[in-house]
């Protein structure tokens, strides 16, 4: 805990841990020297059986060999979309890309053709690295179809096919000098304008944020950690990048399954776990059906959505370790604040903690951009090494998010007390957080408006005990049309990942409007919660 006494909502950067001038590739090389024979990565199957393992020396050799092969086919700075679930090859590719100076573009395995097409085009990717399918989504087939219309794409590569992944081409070039300011990844966030924005994340931000977050969480060198967060998300990347710098043992199943996660906590004697609140709720439910031994657990970390005090109490009671809340966003690599193990039960349950090490935070008036006094609600802003380089090919959005003084404006509202502890109070944006994933209404509305039966639509988030928030669509049909909700759901599923499809559908004949004619979404939400729309359909 940092001891400060503030009069205004400005928490200066704490420099008790130095920043490293490292890259995604260099931290693996360092680990291979420090802990050559320690287990770095263990793949387990859906039943919890061990499949393959790599020591740090072996993982480094694999990544180095792949980097050398990639440099015969790609040039440093080129972008490759990595579209797969949590498989070891994803991590090997991430390290190899880092060594070769290739930019990794992450993609959600739930994407449909429209979404993949946008990411490939917007990122200017020259290849898509895939697995055959994920939970019935034919990823490789979709990638080949999308690539047929994009001449810039030179490869569709199955990362589980070793001969193809490690193939050599005709380029002759040395391994480049990759520096920490180089772009390592592009991660896409759902856009408030309906178009996702590609967040340019540099090596320095990703590597240091991963290390500083795990250190602040009380992580030990050599810890055994279970990875359940998806690798396409910054939280998943943070897990393996942070653990690499601590010489830890990463246990990785292909997908999150609560019963499997509980089994692995017991059989692999897991010490650390990061998961969004919905995952933790599912794990508690699975434990009620089949209890496991969690005595090895030392710490759990959760974020991505507000963590309810009751959930914190239940997790700490059952798993026998502190549950530490973190707050951040992709644009901050990602963690901005976190609760430490030594913080009080009240602070752990009612705040998102203090600033992460080396991160500067202020709460600012949304209108004047001035720092507000302690205890006053304003926009949470952050500044420091972890802030993104900008949005890919989108200078207007970058300028609207990072101000002239370097402050990253999160769009979240909160307060800071005199000790520097932050509370989240709301959002300036209309973002919906469902199960830890950020969804933006405009993107969903634009898809629904393409359906011929829809005249207007307003999408809002509704509170939900399991997911935190769920998506609700208030649909005004075209004149004379009777809505077919099954058809609307099928239309959404064909165009977007499953989690973006509304769970609640309400047919309306008018909207509550502001004086300027805008839909009052907060009124729709309040009316629904008050039972005004008793004819709503729950999907």
CATH of the domain at 416: 2.30.38.10
Q: What's the token pair of residue 352?
A: 């998102």
DSSP letter for each residue of 275-316: --HHHHHHHHHHHHHS----TT--EEEE-SS---HHHHHHHH
Q: Give the count of alpha carbons within 13 A of 267, CB side only.
A: 12
372, 453: one domain: no
Of residues 322, 306, 310, the one with CA closest to residue 467: 306
pLDDT of residue 120: 98
The per-residue pLDDT for range 182-238, each reduced to its tens digit, is: 999 999 986 555 678 999 999 999 999 999 999 999 889 999 999 999 999 999 999
468, 528: one domain: yes
pLDDT of residue 391: 98
Which structural domain, as residue segments, surrounds residue 106?
21-36+48-203
470, 396: one domain: no
What DSSP element (H or E) covers 24? helix 24-34
- Cα(first)–Cα(last) distance of the chain, in Å? 45
Contact 70, 34 (CB under 8 A): no
112, 27: one domain: yes
Q: What's the token pair of residue 239?
A: 């897990």
Question: What's the domain count of the chain?
Answer: 3
Choosing from 203, 231, 254, the residue where a domain stops is 203
CB atoms under 10 Å from CB of 472, counted, come to: 25
Distance CA 435, CA 104 (A): 25
425, 458: one domain: no
pLDDT of residue 191: 54
Choosing from 203, 231, 249, the residue where a domain stops is 203
pLDDT of residue 345: 87
Which residues, in sequence order, are CB contacts of 496 under 8 Å at separation 6+?
A: 112, 114, 115, 443, 444, 447
pLDDT of residue 9: 98
Helical spans, DSSP H, in 320-456: 345-350, 395-401, 441-449
Task: Classify residue 495: in a domain, yes or no.
Answer: yes
416, 450: one domain: no
Q: What's the token pair of residue 347?
A: 């602070």
Task: Classify residue 111: in a domain, yes or no.
Answer: yes
Is pTM beyond 0.75? Reply is yes
pLDDT of residue 521: 87
Task: Classify residue 508: in a domain, yes or no.
Answer: yes
Classify residue 278 by burial, with Cβ atoms within 10 Å: 0-12, 13-18, 19+. Answer: buried
Contact 286, 297 (CB under 8 A): no
Task: Classify residue 282: in a domain, yes or no.
Answer: no
DSSP label at residue 387: S
In the structure, how many helices (H) and strands (E) does the chain have?
16, 27
Contact 72, 128 (CB under 8 A): no
Gyration radius from the chain CA atoms: 23
pLDDT of residue 477: 92
Distance CA 26, CA 28 (A): 5
Distance CA 522, CA 426 (A): 12
533, 421: one domain: no
Task: Classify residue 225: in a domain, yes or no.
Answer: no
32, 152: one domain: yes
DSSP label at residue 451: S
Task: Classify residue 465: in a domain, yes or no.
Answer: yes
Ranges of residues in the chain with a pLDDT under 50 are none
Task: Classify residue 521: in a domain, yes or no.
Answer: yes
Sign of CA dihedral 78, 84, 89, 94: positive
Choosing from 179, 203, 227, the residue where a domain stops is 203
DSSP label at residue 217: T
Q: What's the token pair of residue 182?
A: 């180089």
Beta strands 50-55; 39-44: pairing state: antiparallel
- The CATH number given to whatever domain includes residue 465 is 3.30.300.30
pLDDT of residue 178: 98
31, 148: one domain: yes
425, 529: one domain: no
Task: Classify residue 62: in a domain, yes or no.
Answer: yes
411, 454: one domain: no
The per-residue pLDDT for range 420-477, each reduced to its tens digit, is: 999 998 777 778 989 988 888 888 988 998 999 998 899 999 999 899 999 999 999 9
DSSP label at residue 132: S
416, 475: one domain: no
């Amino acid at each position: 805990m940092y001891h400060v006494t503030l009069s205004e909502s400005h928490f200066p950067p704490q420099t008790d841990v130095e920043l490293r001038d490292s890259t995604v590739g260099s931290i693996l090389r360092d680990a291979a020297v420090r802990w050559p024979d320690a287990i770095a990565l263990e793949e387990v199957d859906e039943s919890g059986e061990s499949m393959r393992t790599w020591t740090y020396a072996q993982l480094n050799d694999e990544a180095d060999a792949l980097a050398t092969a990639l440099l015969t086919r790609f040039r440093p700075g080129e972008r490759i979309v990595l579209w797969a679930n949590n498989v070891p090859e994803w991590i090997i590719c991430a390290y190899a890309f880092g060594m070769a100076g290739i930019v990794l573009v992450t993609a959600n395995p739930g994407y449909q053709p429209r979404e993949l097409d946008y990411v490939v085009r917007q990122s200017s990717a020259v290849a898509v690295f895939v697995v055959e399918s994920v939970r019935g989504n034919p990823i490789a087939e979709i990638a080949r179809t999308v690539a047929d219309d994009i001449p810039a794409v030179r490869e569709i590569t199955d990362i589980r096919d070793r001969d193809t992944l490690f193939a050599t081409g005709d380029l002759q070039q040395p391994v480049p000098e990759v520096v920490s300011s180089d772009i390592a990844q592009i991660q896409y966030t759902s856009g408030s304008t309906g178009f996702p924005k590609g967040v340019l994340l540099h090596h320095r931000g990703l590597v240091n944020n991963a290390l500083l977050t795990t250190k602040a969480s009380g992580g030990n060198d050599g810890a055994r950690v279970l990875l359940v967060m998806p690798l396409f998300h910054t939280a998943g990347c943070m897990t393996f990048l942070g653990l690499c710098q601590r010489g830890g043992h990463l246990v990785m199943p292909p997908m999150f399954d609560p019963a499997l996660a509980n089994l692995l906590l017991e059989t692999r004697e897991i010490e650390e776990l990061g998961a969004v609140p919905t995952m933790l709720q599912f794990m508690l439910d699975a434990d009620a059906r089949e209890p496991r031994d969690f005595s090895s657990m030392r710490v759990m970390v959760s974020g991505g959505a507000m963590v309810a005090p009751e959930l914190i109490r239940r997790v700490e009671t059952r798993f026998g370790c502190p549950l530490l809340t973190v707050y951040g966003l992709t644009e901050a690599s990602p963690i901005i604040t976190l609760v430490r193990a030594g913080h009080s039960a009240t602070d752990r349950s009612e705040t998102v903690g203090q600033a992460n090490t080396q991160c500067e935070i202020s709460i600012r008036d949304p209108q004047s951009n001035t720092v507000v006094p302690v205890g006053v609600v304003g926009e949470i802003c952050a500044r420091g090494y972890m802030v993104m380089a900008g949005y890919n090919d989108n200078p207007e959005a970058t300028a609207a998010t990072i101000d002239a003084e370097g402050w990253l404006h999160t769009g979240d509202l909160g307060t800071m007390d005199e000790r520097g502890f932050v509370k989240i109070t709301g959002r300036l944006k209309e973002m919906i957080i469902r199960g830890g994933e950020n969804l933006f209404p405009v993107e969903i509305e634009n898809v629904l408006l393409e359906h011929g039966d829809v005249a207007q639509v307003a999408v809002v988030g509704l509170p939900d005990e399991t997911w935190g928030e769920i998506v609700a669509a208030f649909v005004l049909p075209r004149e004379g049309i009777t809505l077919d909700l099954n058809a609307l759901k099928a239309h959404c599923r064909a165009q977007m990942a499953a989690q973006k499809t509304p769970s609640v559908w309400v047919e309306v004949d008018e909207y509550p409007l502001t004086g300027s004619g805008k839909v009052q979404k907060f009124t729709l939400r309040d009316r629904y919660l008050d039972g005004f729309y008793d004819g709503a359909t729950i999907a």
